Structure 1
Amino acid sequence: MSQHIRHILDLSAQERQAFVQSFDHILTDCDGVLWTVYEPIPNVGDALTTLLANGKTIRYITNNSVRPFESYATQLGSIGIKLEPTDLIHPAVSIVQYLNSIHFEGPIYCLATESFKSTLRAAGFGLIDGPTDPVEESFKKILATVNDKAPVKAVIVDVDFNLNYPKLLRAELYLKGNPECLLIAGATDKLLHVKHDFKVMGPGYFSEMLEQATGRRTVILGKPGAELASQISELYGTTDARRVLFVGDMLQQDIAFASRCGFQKLLVMSGGATREEMVNQPADGECVPDYVADSLADLRQLFD
């Protein structure tokens, strides 16, 4: 069981002042922190405005690649925040940056949404996808459809609302057919928080299935991937990672990721994690936050 984790509003006046002065930058998750699938989280816009007014820089990070930049910009705009493209860390964009960093060339097989794939295509990468049409229920027919021996150099996995068995078979055969073929994932969440007491299966199971079927290791460009952590370090360029406060609602994705980056960690209880899960984390584990709050709105109260 972990040690006692302080609620930010339980800090003394002196401790609050020290906490506020301990960070210059905020990196916040979106779903479960700024809003849920069905509703906004009260007073979050006021909290963000207060932080900006007090000289803090804010960037936003998401594992939800289903939504393009324009959707995030619109939703943040509805709570009074202007979003610039460089302010959002998005799995599809992070994957493009990674592919460019390794000078990647070659066709990509992509299991993801059309929005996700359009980001890759706009960056100049050639994609193979499908099959999406129903196939005859015969292994001979399926294998004849998917085993095309295309010279695929990377298989990318994220949320695919139309995932099917032939698509997974095709991905498996590309990976097995070329030892140099990369397996890359955006989000690896196994559970997606929708609203209070309602979670659904996430895309983490897709990449895990391919790892087990092929023996390959996934390069993860979503939270809590080590490759994404390296990108974030370059993005901020800070000499002291502790001057960054990470705000998240999930232990395995958000808090673990912040630990890998060396950031301060604030867990908000407005999303996927429960207090029981938080206090039962091993005290020396990477999923233990430094502080807890009911929601991001508590930061405004802290300043007030």
Structure 2
Amino acid sequence: KVVLTTTTTTGVRRRGNARATGTTTTRGGRHMARANAPKMSPPDAKSLVDATETFIFDCDGVIWKGDSLIEGVPETLDLLRSMGKRLIFVTNNSTKSRAGYTSKFKSLGLNVGAEEIFSSSFAAAAYLESIGFKKKAYVVGETGILEELDNVGVQHIGGEADAGKQVTLKSGELMHHDEDVGAVIVGFDRNINYYKIQYATLCIRENPGCLFIATNTDAVTHLTDAQEWAGNGSMVGAIKGSTKQEPIVVGKPAAFMLDYIANKYSLRKDQICMVGDRLDTDILFGKDGGLRTMLVLSGVTTEETLKSPENDIAPDFYTDKLADLLCLKPVEA
């Protein structure tokens, strides 16, 4: 029997190697541990790749930004595959299912199979399946969650069907909700509205034992390559505020997806490297899980943020972009 673990937003696991050791500074009476992370050199790259059997890549900010492929990614993935490395792609973006992400990879010219993709929409469905969930789920989110719930046979309501619904707040108005809903899943939703917030709130507060599941709590996301946009944390925050409950988080940095992947492929975690662009999700996900970690500066995190006295999360290495691993490519005679 496979035992899969989850954490709440207030219960993210911390391991001894999750936080940086380095110079201690004082700010406002608080002691801060400055993160010490070396910039990856070619010898560092060789050592890291040699010690790694499986690479787990975040997508937004590592593979692409919005709908634009980041320079050098196809060649880097081809190089790692030619070296016999297993490649897995993990994203907190719940708007697409694995089938949807397979299509996106294909549209960008990348040959990635559905079995190599783990999205937070998949993680939400997999979590419900792992606990033998038999009730209905109410979804604040988009088609990715709905498709993944269909794949595991979980009945669902809400989602895109509630996109245009409005609340008039007339005198005496009462919103009815389905008492058979046993879980509310909150994922990124470009059509979030007051109706959805109220319906989710009623289910969580009034249906005994109703689960509150968040695909992730990311503050921002890359919907386009032009700027950052408010992330799923804003949707989850609305429901947290109205219910006064903490969600079960199934996306990064919670442990569920990593445990699922490691169990599925019988992986040793000390032979996995997590590659991401976010300190508080990707790198913390790797550190908490006992993985090697590599931060790329092609997404959210800047070198200034990494080296800030306010940051105490240190990757094993950092580099400008994933394609910096191409330094390992054999030189043709």
What TM-score do you get using the length of structure 2 for normalisation?
A: 0.81
Q: Which moved more, 1:211-220 or 1:254-263?
A: 211-220
Aligned to 2:81: 52
Gaps of 5+ in 2: 1-32
2:194 to 165, 177, 183: 165
Q: Which amino acid aligns with 1:263?
A: L
Q: Find the aligned partners of 2:262 and 2:309 in 1 and give their Cα distance.
A: 26
Off by >4 Å, runs of 4+ in structure 1: 194-197
Aligned to 2:119: 90
Deviation at 1:187, TM superposition (A): 2.7
- 1:96-245 superposed matches below 5 A: 96-129=125-158, 131-135=162-166, 137-138=168-169, 140=171, 143-144=173-174, 146-194=175-223, 198-239=227-268, 241-245=269-273
Deviation at 1:281, TM superposition (A): 5.8
Q: Find the aligned partners of 2:314 and 2:155 in 1 and give their Cα distance.
A: 41
Q: Which moved more, 1:274-283 or 1:199-208?
A: 274-283
Q: Find the aligned partners of 1:237 and 1:30 in 2 and give their Cα distance.
A: 23
RMSD over aligned Cα, in angstroms? 2.3
Q: Find the aligned partners of 2:231 and 2:170 in 1 and give their Cα distance.
A: 27
Gaps of 5+ in 1: none
Deviation at 1:27, TM superposition (A): 0.3
Higher helix share: 1
How many residue pairs match? The answer is 296
Deviation at 1:32, TM superposition (A): 0.7
Aligned to 1:298: 324
Aligned to 2:52: 23
CA offsets per residue over residues 21-51 of structure 1, 9 Å max, x none? 1111100011110111142211110000001
Aligned to 2:314: 288
Say whether the 8 Å CA contact 1:195–1:271 is kept in structure 2: no
Q: Which moved more, 1:158-167 or 1:123-132?
A: 123-132
Deviation at 1:16, TM superposition (A): 4.3
Deviation at 1:197, TM superposition (A): 7.2
Deviation at 1:17, TM superposition (A): 3.5
Deviation at 1:271, TM superposition (A): 0.6
Say whether the 8 Å CA contact 2:36–2:314 is kept in structure 1: no
Deviation at 1:77, TM superposition (A): 3.5
The SS at the match of 1:128 is: strand
Say whether the 8 Å CA contact 2:165–2:195 is kept in structure 1: no
Q: Which amino acid aligns with 1:89?
A: F
CA offsets per residue over residues 201-224 of structure 1, 9 Å max, x none? 111122223223223221111111
Summarize the Cα distance change of 1:124–1:190 in structure 2 as closer, same or farther, 3 Å threshold: same
What TM-score do you get using the length of structure 1 for normalisation?
A: 0.88
Q: Find the aligned partners of 1:277 and 1:102 in 2 and give their Cα distance.
A: 39
